[in-house]
């Protein structure tokens, strides 16, 4: 799926608004709950199924990895 220029600009603006995703100088950068919440908001606002599917896949992958680590 290829995004339009407008979709790309919108994504960059939404990402830029959420400093916890990119600003390593902010304490929130290391707060996983804030980061997940910020990503969920971007997914909601973008309303692009491909992004939603990718995000859901990554969430499931993280859960699997966490489960695998806890079993060792």
Residue 47, pLDDT score:
80
Predicted confidence (pLDDT) per residue in 21-63, tens digit: 999 999 999 999 999 999 989 988 988 666 666 767 777 778 7
Residue 69, pLDDT score:
75
Question: Based on the structure, what is the number of domains in the chain?
Answer: 1
**HEC secondary structure over the chain:** CCCCHHHHHHHHHHHHHCHHHCCCCCHHHHCHHHHHHHHHHHHHHHCCHHHHHHHHHHHHHHHHHHHHHHCC
Contacts of 72 (CB under 8 A, 6+ apart): none
Residue 11 lies in domain: 5-70
């Amino acid at each position: 799926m290829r995004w339009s220029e407008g979709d790309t600009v919108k994504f960059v603006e939404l990402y830029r608004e959420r400093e916890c995703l990119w600003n390593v100088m902010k304490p929130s950068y290391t707060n996983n709950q804030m980061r997940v919440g910020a990503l969920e908001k971007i997914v909601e606002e973008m309303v692009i199924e491909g992004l939603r599917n990718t995000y859901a896949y990554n969430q499931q992958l993280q859960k699997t990895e966490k489960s695998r680590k806890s079993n060792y």
